[in-house]
Amino acid sequence: MHDHSDKNEGGGGGNSPQTPDPQDQNIENALSKIKHKLIVMSGKGGVGKSSFATNLAVALAAKGFSTGLMDVDLHGPSIAGMVGINGLLEVSQETQQVVPKKVSEHLKVVSMQSLMKDPDQAVIWRGPAKTGIIRQFIGDVFWDALDFLIVDSPPGTGDEPLSVAQTITGAKALIVTTPQDVALADVRKSINFCRAVNLELVGLVENMGPFACPCCGKTVELFKSQGGRLTAEAMGVTFLGTLPFDPEVVKSCDQGAPIAAAGQSGPFVAALETVVQAVIGRL
């Protein structure tokens, strides 16, 4: 054994390998109270990943599950606007932890947007800073006991999804895609990313799928059909279902009242229910 008596000599400071990192302990404590951790990913932008993450969280909360929604898309946070919250996050005087914004009885949210006084401020950070804030979003936030923590990750396979995969022990991934070949090519990269970092895949969701024309009832395909299902089958991944394109999804998210909220109905809500049940069944 080495003599560690001079480990702090010269004012180097820092924790020795034998000294647990307090933030690591905070993260471990926080995660121990969360049953299911789901990272919502996409291979590319523009596939409706954040709106799906939001509607998934709202739908789970509406079923009575205690749900947290965490937005780690640090450069383009949109969750706060989609659930209709504003203002800065507060710190509990009792626990000295950040208090998530409460959206409903069973849903609470933390977003980068809630840390910035100017919502139009550009976030210009390198990788280590991103990792630091993601760790804080878990360990320094009073999530308390949750059935689900839904993490909205930025598109691609960069710093944020890697940090989430490495930090959130036991996390599982949901991948969102649209049916066209360009998106599906990037989905295959996301699937391989998950496998490379040992991130279990719950399955693949196809968004903006075929829908019935409101004028004539004819089925309209914005991109193509069955692309997500075929890709899932080819890659050996569970296909969780298709969500039809619906302008009301965009409108409701822009208004801060997601379409999955109680009282809403229609083809998208019915398809979302099928996907939510498939997700629950996989867990």
117 annotated binding-site participant: no
- Is 227 flagged in the annotation as binding? no
Strands 90-91 and 98-99: antiparallel
DSSP secondary structure string for all residues of 239-255:
EEEEEE--HHHHHHHHT
Give all strands (DSSP E) within 156-281, no chain letters.
172-177, 200-209, 211-212, 219-220, 239-244
Does the annotation place 47 within a ligand binding site?
yes
Q: Is 46 annotated as a binding residue?
A: yes
64 in a known ligand binding site: no
Q: Is 219 helix (H, G, I), strand (E, B) or coil?
A: strand
Q: Is 224 annotated as a binding residue?
A: no
Contact criterion met (CB below 8 Å) for 153 and 112 = no
Angle between helices 181-196 and 227-235 (to 10 degrees): 30
Q: φ, ψ for residue 20 (rounded to 5)? A: -65, 140
Burial of 104 (0-12, 13-18, 19+ CB in 10 A): middle
Q: Is 209 helix (H, G, I), strand (E, B) or coil?
A: strand
205 is in an annotated binding site: no
On whether 63 is known to bind a ligand per the annotation, the reply is: no
Cα distance between residue 280 and residue 118, in whole Å = 37
Binding site as annotated, residues = 43-50
Binding site as annotated, residues for ATP = 43-50
